[in-house]
Every structure is written in structure tokens, then in C-alpha cells.
Amino acid sequence: MPLRVTFVAAACGAPPPAERFEDDRPLNQAGWDEVQRAAGELLPLAAAELRYCSPTPRSRATGDALGYAPLVQLALRDCDMGRWRGLTLGEAMAREPEAVDFWLADPRATPHGGESLLAFISRVGGWLDTRPADDGGRIVAVAEPSVIRAALVYALKAPPSSYWNIDVRPLSTTTVSGRAGRWNLRFDGIPAQRSRT
């Protein structure tokens, strides 16, 4: 039986225009309200044999609020953005426009002094490939949208540039199934009553 890993995107900690690199702010009230509205549909995932989360406050809080009691996984942390940590993309662009352009164009680039996009995707993919298949067939992982995008790029063996074309919405779920080096993607999506434009 193939391993099944369902990623749940953490609830919002800030409005989208205010999203910051390596944002470690806790859930805001809107995020808590979102979790409460989604709980009925996401609670069944607590039956997974293994439950994990990113180390961010909002990922941990989302997992706890959904009854997952997740184990924090450092490998599921956000991309290390070096000196851009805490900035929005617009703020980084205002300070270092050429460096941001270089970073967006080259997945091996680290102009911020942190981790490259390619290293980030490889780290998250390494975590995915090392899940213990013999400990159970179902895993749930609450993670930041960036981590889920990295996992999807890795699972699909897609070019790193496709990372920028994946949109992961708060509290959406995405499942990959298979085993190390061979993953299939299943879109679970966002249930109709929670979707917003």
C-alpha cells in the first residue's frame, strides 16, 4: 500500500499583501476564525497514523486547533531568507531590486545570504522521501504554503521555476501518495463553503 501524505496549509497569520519572508507571527483572529469554520472538514485527518507540522507558530496552532497534536519537523521550516527575513517581497525589491530579480530567475541563487530555492525544494523533498512507510499508510502535515509548494515541485519532478506558479490557499489540502522518488499528486482542493476569491 502506498504512503499517503496530506498537506494542510496553515491558516493565515496576516493578510496576503502583508505576507513576509519567514513570517513567524502567530495566527490572527481571522486565522482562528478560519480554523473554526474548517474544523468539521479537516478534523477527520487527525486519524492519520503520523501527524506533523512546520515549526512556525501558525502551523503549530493550526494543527493543535484541529486536534492533530502534530510533531514539529524542522525540515518543514520555511526557506531561509537570510537578511530578507521578515521583509515583504516589495520591501526586499525596494532595497535590493537586482538581487531580487536574480533570486527569482535563478533557483540556485542566494543573494540574501540564506538558502537557495533549489536547496529548499530538496530539503522538503528529502523529508517527504524519508517518511517511514512501515509506521502507517497515512500522514498529515500542517505547513506553510511555501513548504507545500516546494513539496509539490519535488513530488512532480517539475522544474524549480514552477514553484512560482503554484498557489496554495490557507487551510487547503493537497495529497501526494507513493514512496521515495515516486510520488503521485491528488488535488483535494478547498471545500466550496470555505473558498473565497
At 194 the pLDDT is 47
Using CB atoms within 10 Å of the CB of residue 90, give its burial: 0 to 12 exposed, 13 to 18 middle, 19+ buried: exposed
Q: Grid coordinates standing for 169?
A: 490557499
Phi, psi angle pair for 195, to nearest 5°: -70, 140
Say which DSSP state 33 is in. H
**Cell 525596494 sits at which residue?**
94
Looking at per-residue pLDDT, the higher value among 194 and 58 belongs to 58
Query: pLDDT category, 80, cuts 50, 70, 90?
Result: very high
Is the pLDDT confidence value at 136 over 60?
A: no
Consecutive H or E run containing 124: helix 117-129
Give the predicted TM-score (pTM) of the model. Answer: 0.89
| Alpha carbon distance, N-terminus to C-terminus of the chain | 37
Mean pLDDT, the chain, whole residue set: 88
Which residue, among 145, 139, 148, has the nearest Cα to 170 in the 3D structure? 145
Please give the distance of CA 110 from its chain centroid, rounded to a whole number. Answer: 20
Give the pLDDT band of residue 125 (cuts 50, 70, 90): very high
In this predicted structure, what is the pLDDT of residue 25? 78
What pLDDT is recorded for position 23? 74
